[in-house]
Amino acid sequence: MFHKEGHKIIFITLIIIVASFLLVDSFITAAWLRTLVLILLLGFFILILQFFRNPKRRTSFNDKHVVSPVDGKVVVIEEVFEKEYFKDKRLQVSVFMSPINVHVTRYPIGGHVIYSKYHPGKYLVAWHPKASEENERTTVVVENEAYGKVLYRQIAGALAKRIVNYAKQNNKAVQGADSGFIKFGSRVDLFLPLNTKINVQLNQKVRGGESVIAEVNE
């Protein structure tokens, strides 16, 4: 299954690849070179298909749990001052996505969207310390009674040129459901209450909609 954000790109790429195959077959006479170019074109098309894949995930719904919003690697776990919405200290957990990761963004908790805002910005590499504040990004806050408020921020990277955010204020959020997409390399930051129990470690690989990032500390 492929994400709807990739349908147009996949179709255009397919046309270009087919046309390229015909041109290569017509104008390149050296068999070894023709074979090499065809393999490279096919490999490129497979990478595009892989990038826009949208695998089904089995989310164990729990209002006291925060699941990872994306696939990737945990690169930040630290206490920070969140300036945009909370304006107080929070625990930040950041997940970095490489171009080969699934780039679907999923709701980390169920509840209701109480804040959603898009910010234009730069395209610093996603792991840059200032990427969270200076890059193109969207900020979404979801709230439920059991956990409280969770802010997640989609951040464009050096290769990401478009962030898609489906979360609109007053929308119902279903934990693990599709809430957006980031095209070509990026990261997502989570901002959680200070008394949250963190269940992941730095450099740990996580799966969107399945890996439990944090839970209520009872």
Q: What angle do CA 89, 90, 91 make, to 5 degrees?
A: 140
User: What's the pTM?
Assistant: 0.84
In a domain, 13, yes or no: yes
Same domain, 28 and 128: no
User: In terms of domains, do 45 and 89 share one?
Assistant: no
- Range of 45's domain? 4-51
Is residue 211 among the annotated active site residues? no
Of the candidates 205, 192, 124, 112, which has an alpha carbon nearest to the alpha carbon of residue 152?
A: 192
Residues 96 and 135 both lie in one domain: yes
Both 40 and 115 in a single domain?
A: no
What is the band of 196 on the pLDDT scale with cuts at 50, 70, 90?
very high
Calculate the CA dihedral of residues 158, 161, 166, 167 and round it to 10 degrees.
Answer: 40
Among residues 40, 65, 47, the alpha carbon closest in space to that of 9 is found at 47
Residues 35 and 71 in one domain: no
Q: What are 28-46's pLDDT values in tens digits?
A: 888 888 889 889 988 888 8
Same domain for 38 and 86, yes or no, is: no
Asked whether residue 88 falls in the same domain as residue 176, the answer is: yes
Residue 58 lies in a domain: no
44 and 135 fall within a common domain: no
Domain total in the chain: 2
Q: Where residue 130 sits, what CATH number does that domain have?
A: 2.70.70
Of 94, 116, 186, 211, which is the active-site residue? 186
- Band of pLDDT at residue 213, cut at 50, 70 and 90: very high
In contact, 116 and 138? CB cutoff 8 Å: yes
Are residues 106 and 177 located together in one domain of the fold?
yes
Co-location of 107 and 169 in the same domain: yes
Least confident among 34-38, 112-116, 194-198: 34-38
- pLDDT tens for 62-108 read 999 999 999 999 999 999 999 999 999 999 999 998 878 888 999 99
Distances (CA, A) of 109 to 45, 48, 58, 97, 209: 34, 29, 14, 20, 9
Q: pLDDT tier at 167 (50, 70, 90 boundaries)?
A: very high
In the predicted structure, residue 1 carries a pLDDT above the cut 90: no
Domain-located, residue 26: yes
Among 126, 143, 144, which residue's Cα sits nearest to residue 135?
A: 126
Q: Are residues 40 and 142 in the same domain?
A: no
